[in-house]
Every structure is written in structure tokens, then in C-alpha cells.
Structure 1
């Protein structure tokens, strides 16, 4: 039956020969624009005006250490254009596993919502609000390393210092981790030998990228109207309220910077003491291992002289537990904090001294 049915079917016709398509040769200067898989390093960061306003609002509303969020945008031929951002919930009081799962669900929900409204939903990095210029923390570096490993062109971190914002000076800086740090991070080799091999210091952990701000015509018009003088307003002929922050003689910023420096120095001293204790412990254990090995060698020499087989030397090292060399990443982070606080103190101390001398001179008149 099957043979009869096969015989009744029409004979298959020969498939038509399709000519191979021909393509025009692409100029070599256009290869980096056509090949989407090519590795184009990020050389600059462009922040949208809406992103700036969102970060400033989030930094003012919450604590400096807990105000962080994700940045979304596109990589445009080496320029990372950040078009939107959204804050992440602060789960500092929850346990780590529960907080991580909750943050992951919230992040996925926000990205799905952005995709539904056909907005940019590609994560390009995250932002972090800081205080007094210090942003070196081990948590920030580890989070940044995870982003830089998983994102295609490597993620960035935008830090916003909330302290100058009170005086009307908003600061935004963009960073990415250096290749030397990523090399040691992948190997988890922040030991003395690893740091000396890559010449890594606290100042070379991060690489700063230039930041530009992009404003749309509506925002530019709004800022233009706000900055224009208006005779009908009551605030000395300007649409903006007068700012008397420059007349504030308070030295709270200088005092707080000094307190932070002292705390960081105490933490660095404690960390160095812990590293010194562990180093002494390692040295003592190594001395014990060397003594045991020498004793086994002497014993083997005696056995060989007596015509007996020597004992193995590998099991001697297993009898002792030599601690691994400690990581010096925390020391680098604390040095970075001390340097940042010192630079902030250098900026604020000069202004504070000028105000104090001016107030003293005016009171003497």
C-alpha cells in the first residue's frame, strides 16, 4: 500500500537554483559602525537632565550611604548616553538574602515596565550618593565589579556628593574600575605580592571618565525663564529666591570632615594591627613547618645510611595549618577614604578660615 501511494505521487521537481547574493564591500572606516559585536571602549559619559534631577532628589531625600539606583541608556560609539534612572530600595535592616531577592524582583519589575513603554531598558551602570567626597567602600567596588563583568561594554558608577548641593553646587563624577583591579578581583589576589605585581594603589583602583550633561529644549527653556529677571517678583528682581549660603559662617563641614578623617585613621590602624597579627601567625607556622621538614630530612638521611627506605616529606606540611595571606583590599579602601576626606577638608578649610577672619575683622570695627 505504501509503495502504491508513493508511486501515485507526482515526481518531485528539481529545486530552482538560487543565485548567491552579492554584497558591496564595506569601507574599512565604517566597520566599527556596522559590526555591533566589536569592542568599543567607553570614553565619555552623557547624563540627561532628567537623570540629574532624579539623582539630586534621591540624594536629598535619603541618607547619603543608602541613596543608590540603576542607570539605563545606550552606548553610542564610545559615549555612554544615560537617558533614565530609578532608585533602588534601601534594605539595610533586612537580612542579606531577603534583601537581595527583594531588590532583584524590584529591578526586574522596573526594567519590564520601561520596556513596555518602549523606553531604554539597558542597564549601563548605577549611581551612588556620597557625603564629603568619600565614596571608597568595599561594597561599592564589589557591586561595580559585578556590573563591569556582566555588562557588555563595562558598567560605570556615577557618584553624587550631596554636601556641596546644599550650597547650590551639584557635583557628578563617573568612574569605572581599572584593568589592574579587575585582574586581581577575578583571581581574588589582593595580597602583597599581587598588589606589587600590578602596582595597584588606592588612587589607581578607579578611572575617571569625563561627564557631559544633555538638556532637552523644554528644560533649557525652563532654566532660561528661571534665570531671567522679572520686575514683578518680590525677590530682588529675580525669579529665583535669593541665596545667602555664602554668608553662612558655620564651620560644621570642616568639623565633620575632621571627625571622618579621625574615624578613618582609627579604622586603618585597627586594620593594620589585624594584618600584622595574621602575618606574625603565618610566620610562626612557617617556622614550625620548616623545622618539621628539616627533622624529617635528617631522619631520612639516617634511614638511608642504615639501608632503610626514606619516609615521605609531603605529609609533614599537612600536619600544620598555615593561614592564607590576608587580603589588603580593605586597607586600600580606607586609604582612599582618608585621601578623599583630606581633599574635601582642603577645600572647605580655606573658605572657613577666610570667613572666620572676615567675621573677626568686621566685629573689631
Structure 2
């Protein structure tokens, strides 16, 4: 009996945000929260018209379980029910989050929440407001889960082992798929920005907001990166332990087979019941951590690129 969950293929080609949503998310204290809107199935465009911050989310940069907290789940469903009663025509489409920790927002719990919501609605997405190295621009991106990842995650008969990851071409760089973002009512946003407080200065034609937010220091970002590498090494140690046990058992099996061949006896080691190869541990956490490290490194490189170029020029001139 198959245990594979049927998932509709994600078809969203672009995301359109109302200007009001941009202002909501662009606030340095926006925190995390649900987003609502509707899907234009003819054009494969996802329209995000409403966003709400979870209570107290601005004070707690909690990426581990903010999608699973009972109070947040109730908050999300209450708003969805209110829109349904009002016949507003919008539905829950995912979450936005604000990160100040150099790309470190991906966790297994967040990925699991995205998966289960995608099963319910294939248009589910994650909006990420990256405040680490934006300078004066709003760095807002939309992501959905990789279709190959969804298929593997939905099939309980398969596992996140090396072979399956390779067959599905899943690596440290493709857990999330970026979806292009556009802004609706951009002229209205520009007019509103001119009257906005200091932390929202202007909206350019490209829909980038100028923010006066402060991001964490490069030193702290490297500390976060080292923490992620520690997590990755811990997971790799478990995998290396499996490999050592597998090598040990495989050597024993080969020796036993040779002895059986010399005796002219049955060489089927599985039927003998004397050996049992260890199961390969799941590489799911390794996969998520690898994607998270990639995001952190990309942010650090973006922040340090100018300084690296200056250092390179100085070195060449010496």
C-alpha cells in the first residue's frame, strides 16, 4: 500500500504584493506572520493583499517554531475565518519572516510547516525580509519548496538517504525556489512613502524601499556561521559512524562468502541471518543545514564583497 501524499505541482510564476503589504513587512519591527491573498490561475500569479504580524513576534526572533506555536496557529486560522465570513475572497497563502541573522532562517520545523501547508495549497510561499546586508534597500524575496523535495518528502516509503537525494538532484543550493516579486499600486506606495516616518523613506520605481535599519555585526554573523558548521559536523559524525559500521559489516560478509565458496555451500548471506547491514541515517537535517549555510555565506559575501575588492586592489599594488 502506497504511503505517498498527492501534491499538486506548484505553478506560481510570480508574486504580486500590494503596497500596504510592503509597508507592513518593511518595518524593522515587523517580526513574523501570516500572509493572505488569492491566486490568478490564468496568469499563474499569486496576489498577496494582506499581512499580519504574530503577537510579540518582533521581540522574539524565533525561526524554530513560530509556524507551529498554538497561539500563532489560532491567530492564523482566526483571520482566515474572518475573511471567509466577510466573503473577502482571500485565503491563507503562507508566512513572511524578518531575519537579521545572515540567512539563518531555515530550520527543519519551518520546512515541515511549508510542506504541510503546500499539501493543502500548492501556492504556499515564504516571504523573507532579509535585513542583514540590505544597506538602504529592502531585500524581500519570495520562495516556495522545490518540487523534487516535495515529492521525496511526501513519500514515506522513501527516505532522505544519499541515493535518493542524488536521484532527485537535491543539494545544498536548491531546497527553496525563488519566485519573482512585483509590487501593485507602486505609485500609491511612493506617495505614501513621502509622508511616512523616517524608517520608511521612499519607494523607487523598482519597488525597493529605503530603510534606516541596523543589521548585526559581521563578527556576530560569523559566530552564527560557526554554529551552523558545528550543527553540520554533528550530523556528519552520525553519518560517518554509519559508514564505519557498514564497512565493518561488509568486510565480514565478504570474508564469510569466500569461506562458503570454498566449502561449496550457499553464499546467500541475507538468508543466513548472521549479518545485518546498518540503516543509513536520514540526511534531511544535513540537507536543510547545508542550504542554510549557503544562505549565510551568500549574505556574508554580499556584505564583505566591497571590502574584499579593496583588499585585493591594495594587495596587488604592494
Q: Is the 8 A contact 2:172 2:294 kept in 1?
A: no
Q: Is the 8 A contact 1:47 1:83 kept in 2?
A: yes
CA offset at residue 147 of structure 1?
1.7
Query: Residue 142 of structure 1 is aligned with which of 112, 120, 126?
Result: 112
SS state at 2:280 partner: coil
Structure with the largest fraction of helix: 1
Aligned twin of 2:29 = 60
* Equivalences for residues 1-365 of structure 1 within 5 A: 41-57=11-27, 60=29, 67-76=31-40, 77=42, 78-88=44-54, 100-131=69-100, 132-151=102-121, 153-164=122-133, 167-187=135-155, 188-215=158-185, 219-225=189-195, 253-285=217-249, 301=265, 316-317=272-273, 322-351=277-306
Which piece of structure 1 moves more, 114-123 or 279-288? 279-288
TM-score (norm 1): 0.64
CA offset at residue 275 of structure 1?
0.9
User: Per chain length, whose mean CA-contact separation is higher, i.e. which structure has more relative contact order (CA < 8 Å, sep 6+)?
Assistant: 2
Closer, same or farther in 2 for the Cα pair 1:297/1:213, shift >3 Å?
Answer: same
Q: Deviations over 1:104-141 (max 9, x none)?
A: 33322221222333334412222222232333322222
CA offset at residue 256 of structure 1?
1.9
Alpha-carbon separation, structure 2, partners of 1:174 and 1:161: 11
SS state at 2:29 partner: helix
Q: Deviations over 1:148-169 (max 9, x none)?
A: 2211x4311111113246x542
Q: Deviations over 1:214-240 (max 9, x none)?
A: 23765443234569xxxxxxx9xxx96
Alpha-carbon separation, structure 2, partners of 1:92 and 1:134: 11
CA offset at residue 192 of structure 1?
0.8
CA offset at residue 292 of structure 1?
7.3
Q: Which runs of 5+ in 1 are unaligned?
A: 1-37, 62-66, 228-234, 302-309, 357-365
TM-score (norm 2): 0.72
CA offset at residue 280 of structure 1?
2.0
Report the RMSD for the aligned CA atoms in angstroms.
Answer: 4.1
Aligned twin of 2:314 = none
SS state at 1:126 partner: strand
Alpha-carbon separation, structure 2, partners of 1:211 and 1:341: 22
